[in-house]
Amino acid sequence: MHKGMFTEEELRYLRSLDAVERAEPLRITYSKEFKREFMRRYHEGERPRAIFESAGLKAELIGYKRIERACAHWREAETKDALCLTDDKNPTRDDIRARERRRASERCAAIRASRDRKVAEMEEKLAKRRRQAKTREEKLIASQAAEIAALKAQVKALKALGALAGRTQRAPQATEKSERFEVIFRLRTDDPAFNVSAACEALEVSRRGYCDWMAAAPGRAAREKADLEAKEQVEAAYGYRGFKKGSRQVVDCLRRKQGVVMNRKKVQRIARKYDLAPKRKKKNPYHPIGTDGLPKVAANVVNRQFRRGQPLKVISTDITYLPGRDGFSYLSGVIDCETDIVLAHVTSNSMEEQLVLDTYDQLKEIELPDGIWACSDQGVHYTARAYRDKLGELGISQSMSRKACCWDNAPIESFWGRMKEQIGDTSQMSHEEIVTLVDDYIDYYNNERGQARLDWLTPMEYAAKLVA
């Protein structure tokens, strides 16, 4: 060996040994069999140097310190079950989890055993010192008694934390500090002489932090009281008229109906804290479908240019299904793309062509300007001759979305999805109840439901603003 590095001759010799798996100028990797044999013989009482030399690994060659380091490393790895002396090279996930749980349990057991052993040792020393009536020993007894009391307080705090959080196998850091402070506060309330400093040390929090937490108790109580008041307001806004709402709609409803200005983040926090928000359906991701070459009934003239800066330039129409107790109810509607006003709607228990015609008859009550485009899909109702004649009668031009492309008729499709989510399940309602519910919702939507896109104005308010 020259300057801590093996020579080529020494490397050839080491590589020829069964105990060596790989030899490099500065490093030796021992075989698994040699490690297993070493640990067996070491536990039987043999000295590490003798075990190495019996395998041809002379101490003068590899060095005494290298033998000592290898022995210490293998002993530590064996205690952690990380020596990898088994043949299981591909443990399963369950094996890994079981091993981790076993290690966690063993660590906790070791900590408890260590603390209990220390308590027992201190109590034994205390009993011994009490038999000796000397001033110096009495002081030592008092010190040890205080240490025992601190250790007992630590054990008691750890057990209380485990009972509270249900995490006896986890470290204190896995629990929120507020929960740990709560544990100490309860223990101190039950026992005024409880050692707070020892408990803080065991639960890994500072005594200053605990004192600050105690001093902030009035503030927490005041915040909790304010949250309860906000909860009543937010809960009333969520339940207004019975339709589901998101956080932004709740902010708008609070401002409109209660005169309360509340930050949206606060609304979301209160809803999470008290579980007020209704469950929302998952978004259905859009999968675009290209044009398949089928002939189109009418050209897609609008081409998703729905908003033209003025009301009644582009309208969107469609039919949707509402399940009921007696079967489906069918809702036909027409919406103005610029203001989102529902201009006309008819709910029927029949899908006949007259459903759409009756819907457009309601537009006769509106003064329609020239140059209106009506967007629709390529359903049979909108390719029918009677529908085309009705549009001609009203002076409306026709534009159709591409085949299987709902985004070309997005305004009315978006409205259907929003309405169905907010009115809830209708499967147990009669047709008459569904008609009443739809009429009520559309009145609420047009006149009372503010929208972010419309600067939190209702559709009717926004239309009035545009024409003003």
* pLDDT for position 35: 87
Tell whether 3 is covered by a domain: no
Q: What is the DSSP letter of 23?
A: E
> Token pair of 250, please?
């709740």
Expressed in percent and rounded to 5, the helix, strand and coil fractions of the chain are 55, 10, 30
Same domain? For 226 and 192 the reply is: no
> Token pair of 404, please?
């299987």
Same domain? For 133 and 161 the reply is: yes
Q: What is the DSSP letter of 329?
A: E
Q: Which of 196, 215, 234 is the last residue of a domain?
A: 215
Same domain? For 387 and 444 the reply is: yes
Tell whether 410 is covered by a domain: yes
* Distance in angstroms (rounded) separating the CA atoms of residues 312 and 373: 9
Domain count, the chain: 4
* pLDDT for position 293: 42
CB 440 within 8 A of CB 241: yes
Q: Which of 79, 112, 133 is the last residue of a domain?
A: 79
Tell whether 184 is covered by a domain: yes
* pLDDT for position 396: 92
* pLDDT for position 329: 95
Range of the domain at 363: 314-467
Tell whether 308 is covered by a domain: no
Same domain? For 457 and 350 the reply is: yes
* Distance in angstroms (rounded) separating the CA atoms of residues 287 and 397: 29
Same domain? For 26 and 146 the reply is: no
Instruction: Kindly list the averaged pLDDT for each block of 10 residues, start to end, along the chain of length 468.
Output: 77 88 87 87 88 88 87 81 54 67 75 85 82 66 75 71 52 74 83 81 86 88 91 92 90 92 93 84 51 57 87 94 94 94 94 93 90 90 88 91 88 94 94 95 94 92 88
Same domain? For 370 and 418 the reply is: yes
Tell whether 166 is covered by a domain: yes
Task: Using the structure block, give the residue that is written with the tokens 């966690």.
Answer: 104
Q: Which of 51, 79, 107 is the last residue of a domain?
A: 79
Same domain? For 111 and 75 the reply is: no
Phi, psi at 228, each rounded to 5°: -65, -40
* pLDDT for position 84: 56
- The whole-model pTM stands at 0.50
* pLDDT for position 97: 73
